[in-house]
């Protein structure tokens, strides 16, 4: 990757790889926490309907 010009140095490539692994782990943990929250307090049909209505209103308000 250094030879191809993507990274200036090997250290930069390694740093990027480590940061990527750390970010992936952070995102995985956040995803697990979100899932656990929905398991503890599941969405009701009313919650889903309200979110759907809000999304539709938001899209309709866009100046496409």
**Residue positions counted in the chain:** 64
Domains of the chain, by residue range, sit at 10-61
Across all residues in the chain, what is the average pLDDT? Answer: 97
- 15-42 pLDDT, tens digit per residue, is 999 999 999 999 999 999 999 999 999 9
Q: What are phi and psi of 48, to 5 degrees?
A: -65, -40
The pTM of this model reads: 0.67
Helix then strand then coil, % of the chain, to nearest 5? 75, 0, 25
Q: How many helices (H) and strands (E) does the chain have?
A: 2, 0
Q: Give the Cα separation of 5 and 18 in Å (integer).
A: 19
């Amino acid at each position: 990757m250094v030879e191809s010009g993507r990274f200036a140095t090997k250290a930069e490539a390694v740093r990027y790889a480590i940061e990527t692994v750390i970010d992936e782990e952070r995102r995985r943990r956040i995803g697990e926490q979100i899932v656990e929250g929905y398991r503890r307090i599941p969405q009701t049909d009313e919650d889903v309907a309200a979110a759907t209505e809000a999304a539709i209103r938001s899209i309709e308000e866009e100046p496409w």
